Amino acid sequence: MKTAVIVSDSHGNRAVFDKLAPVFKESDYIFHLGDHCADGLALKKIYGDKVFIINGNCDIYALGENELITEIEGVKIFACHGHLYSVKSGYDKLLYKAEELGCDIALFGHTHVATVLEYGSTTLINPGNLSRYSQNSYCYLVIHNGKPVAKIVNI
């Protein structure tokens, strides 16, 4: 069994990281899906190689990847910020990309709206946001025997 914490759109609000420190420490992976990827870099300095950083549309300096594909416990994951797939207008482009890549999960941010949606064999996950201006949330993902279970957690 492996666990991952997925966060996005922190927009410089690193104070929330202190609240999340226990869950960051115990998790096997941490994904920061952009919009202030420097915040993701701050996580990487603390938690090391278990942190994956994605660049967002508000990230002037690209400190992470624009997209990445990884596999955890036999579950193939596509991670992006979402703006390049017009996720504020719908999820079709993102879903098609994930399916084209053979991914079981597509992680994205950008909308600031926490979402877990299943389309056939593909699950789309947006953890919400960690900005100062709205309800904060993250996604806690458990993968066991090739089966992912995602839970949105409000902070």
Question: Model confidence over 95-150: pLDDT tens digits?
Answer: 999 999 999 999 999 999 999 999 999 999 999 999 987 899 999 999 999 999 99
For the domain made up of 2-154, give the CATH fold: Purple Acid Phosphatase; chain A, domain 2 (3.60.21)
The per-residue pLDDT for range 7-32, each reduced to its tens digit, is 999 999 999 999 999 999 999 999 99
Domain boundaries, the chain: 2-154
Query: Which two tokens mark 35?
Result: 């919009």
Residue 93 has pLDDT above 90, yes or no: yes
Per-residue pLDDT, averaged over 64-87, amounts to 97
Buried b vs exposed e over 126-151: b needs ≥16 C-beta within 10 Å?
bbbbbbeeeebbbbbbbbeeeebebe
The whole-angstrom distance between residue 91's C-alpha and the CA centroid of its chain comes to 15
